[in-house]
Amino acid sequence: MLLEKVNWFEEKISLRRELFSNFLEDQKQCGSLFKAIEIMENILKKSQKILVFGNGGSATQSSHLAAELVNKFYFERKALPALALTADVANITSIANDSDFRFIFSRQLEALGQKGDAVVGITTSGASANVLEAFKTAKEMNLDTIALCGQNKAALEKLDLDVIVAVNSQDTPLIQEMHLFILHTMAEVLEKNFFGGKE
C-alpha cells in the first residue's frame, strides 16, 4: 500500500518537473513571461498601477500577487501600486446581482483603471467570461493587457492582448501551481529591478 502511494506521488512530481522543464525550454513561453514583466516594470516606473483579477483559485492568486507588490516579496521596501479586483465583496456581489457576473471585473476597471495602467487577468480555462469581458474593457481603455492561462488560449488570442503567458497543460491544479511560480517570478524580478535585490 505504501509503495503504491509513493509511486503515485512520484508520478505527480514527475508531471510537475516535466511541465517546468518544458516551460524553460520553450523560448516563446519563457519569453512571454519576461515580456509581461517588462510591461509591468514600465508602467510602475510611470507611477501607474497593476490591476489583477481571476476566479476561484485564480482569484486568490490575484490577491497574492497584489500583496507581494504592495507589501514585499523578500525584503522591506517602498510599496508598488497593485490592486486585486477580486477583493471587494460589495462591488463583486452588487455588480453580479444588479447586472451580471460577467461584468464584475470590467465594471471595476471602468471605475479604477486609468490610461497607462496594466491589467493581469488569470484564467486556467482561457475562457472565463468575466475575464474576457474585462480584457475587452481594458483594450477599449488603452490599458496594457497581460493574460495567464493554460493550454487553451484561442479566446484570449482573439482579443489581441499585449502578452499571453500560457502553461502547456489542461490540468487545472497543475496550471495553478505553474501560475503561482510565474507570479512569484514577476514579484521577485520587479522587486529586484526596482530596489536592488534581496537583502
Length, in residues, of the chain: 199
Query: What contacts 104, CB < 8 A, 6 or more positions away?
Result: 85, 91, 92, 95, 96, 130
> What integer is the mean pLDDT of 124-133?
98
Question: What's the confidence (pLDDT) of residue 198?
Answer: 58
Mean pLDDT of the chain: 95
Whether 1 shows a pLDDT value over 90: the answer reads no
Question: What's the confidence (pLDDT) of residue 24?
Answer: 86
Domains of the chain: 28-195 (3.40.50.10490)
Q: How confident is the model at residue 4 (pLDDT cuts 50, 70, 90)?
A: confident
- Residue range 22-65, pLDDT digits in tens: 888 888 889 999 999 999 999 999 999 999 999 999 999 999 99
Q: Left (φ > 0), alpha (ψ -120 to 50) or beta: where does 142 sit?
A: left
Do 144 and 163 contact (CB within 8 A), yes or no? no
Quick check: helix, strand or coil at residue 32? helix
Rounded to two decimals, the pTM is 0.94
